[in-house]
Amino acid sequence: MESVFKKYLNALQKALKIDIEPMINIVGFYQGTKYRLLIFPRQKHRPEAFFKTGEERVVVSPGVIDMGGLLITPMERDFKRLNQSTVESIYKEVSLEGIMAEMALDTME
């Protein structure tokens, strides 16, 4: 698993044309004798809504749990304001486009 993970990181780095480690979130599972590693390639750490002021601000900073589907909002008002469209927009903004992640898979050696 370590070898494949390193190959994927190198391939992602090449696909993105960067010299630094790509931004990712990782969660791992172990069941019986099998390991599973979920990798969420990122293009941003936080969505633009996090940096807005006043009523436009939504305090959300997706980490690995959030990327896995459990979106945490520390402020109740933000939780109540979120809807499907807003959540999809946040995930789309911070996630690496599927085509880039697929390019990385295609270039793995």
Q: Measuring CA to CA, how many Å separate 94 from each of 32, 35, 39, 88?
A: 33, 26, 14, 10
pLDDT reported for residue 102:
73
* Distance in angstroms (rounded) separating the CA atoms of residues 86 and 106: 31
**What gap in Å lies between CA 18 and CA 64, rounded to an integer?**
22
Instruction: Give 58: exposed, middle or buried? Use CB within 10 Å, 0-12, 13-18, 19+.
Output: buried
Q: Which of 14, 13, 36 is nearest to 26 (CA)?
A: 36
Residue with tokens 């293009």: 43
pTM recorded for the entire structure: 0.80
- pLDDT tens per residue across all 109 residues of the chain: 889 899 889 988 888 889 999 999 999 989 999 988 888 999 999 999 999 999 999 999 998 989 888 899 999 999 999 999 999 999 999 998 776 767 767 767 5
pLDDT at position 51: 96
